Amino acid sequence: MISQVPEKSQNQEYIYIDTDNLRLSPFQSREQIPEQELKELKQSIQQQGILQPLLVREISKGFFEVIAGSRRLKAAKLLGINKLPAIVKKIGDQQALLVSIMENLQRQDLNPLEEAKSLQRLIKEFNLSHQQISEKLGKDRSTITNTLRLLSLPEPIQEAVKLGKVSKTQARALLGIKDSQQMLQVFQDVLQQNTPVNLLEKKVSRARPKKVKSRDIFLSDIETKLQERLGRKVSIAQKGKRGKVVLEFYSQEDLEALLKLLGWEAE
């Protein structure tokens, strides 16, 4: 019989719950678990048992939703284990999603697209700003914004990122190309040649439109400060005394968050 006794963490009490009474959370960030990863987890459980209790919340009498530990639940079911140790917490929907994201980020379980989609859910479902997310997850706001920008990539590139054929840093470099056709062409080079990031950045630089004249230092400084404050790309163009300021957004939800940040509420 497989040992299932975990070590108690920080004096937290756990109970044993029938696996038939456990449900996967709709807030689970991971879309898929690689077969090799699941195989390794099964082997670990066979050798050492369940070392860490699941984190669950009760959804109805005797039935629980898994907030953290979906991989352990799936592996345990495949091994025929019918009871698992779990810590029961009273957690709301927003906290459930945050816990799921944080657990997977800490273990580096999420691919970049899963991470971006999870962050987008926090914006869409809970109306959180980039700054609020950065504070809750303990990450720089620029990191949150840059991760969300991956969702603006063309579908073929998103799929390649999801499958690990293109790294997060390569994808972010590709975002520097504004023309989608040019971006896809450079993307094909990345797939065929596995272009290192430093060479990719040079290709991206060559693909950008050349500036006719040097930028005004004052305007460049304002651009930089606005980008840091708003957590997004800002462009300032001036001709004579007139000019324009362009703020980028990456989804409808991000636009609403930007307008809110600027003090304007849509009716």
Q: Domains, the chain, ranges and CATH? A: 15-97 (3.90.1530.10), 154-210 (no CATH), 217-261 (no CATH)
Q: Look at residue 5 in the predicted model and tell me its pLDDT.
A: 45
Identify which has the larger pLDDT, 6 or 259: 259
pLDDT class of 100 with cuts at 50, 70, 90: confident
Q: How confident is the model at residue 259 (pLDDT cuts 50, 70, 90)?
A: confident
- DSSP state letters, 164-186: TSS-HHHHHHHTT--SHHHHHHH
Residue 32 has pLDDT above 70, yes or no: no
Q: How far is CA 205 from the centre of its chain?
A: 27
The predicted structure's pLDDT at residue 215: 58
* Neighbour-count burial of 28, counting CB atoms closer than 10 A to its CB (0-12 exposed, 13-18 middle, 19+ buried): buried
Tokens of 144: 């949150």
Per-residue pLDDT for 265 more than 80?
no
Tens digits of residue pLDDT in 194-211: 777 777 777 777 766 655
Give the chain's mean pLDDT: 81
For range 41-69, the mean pLDDT: 88
Residue 18, pLDDT > 90, answer yes
121 pLDDT more than 70: yes
Q: What is the mean pLDDT of residues 240-254?
A: 83
pLDDT at 16: 93
Integer Cα distance of 90 and 92 in angstroms: 7
| 180's tokens | 């989608």
pLDDT score at 151: 92
- In whole angstroms, what is the distance from residue 90 CA to residue 231 CA? 33
pTM of the model: 0.57
The end-to-end CA distance of the chain, in Å, is 62
pLDDT classification of 17: cutoffs 50, 70, 90: very high
pLDDT tens digit sequence for 139-183: 888 889 999 999 999 999 999 988 888 888 888 888 888 888 888
What mean pLDDT do residues 66-84 have?
89
% of the chain at pLDDT higher than 90: 12
- pLDDT greater at residue 131 or residue 37: 131
Q: What are phi and psi of 23, to 5 degrees?
A: -120, 145
25 phi/psi in degrees, rounded to 5: -80, 140
DSSP conformation class of 31: S
- Contacts of residue 135, defined as CB under 8 A and 6 or more positions apart, other chains included, come to none
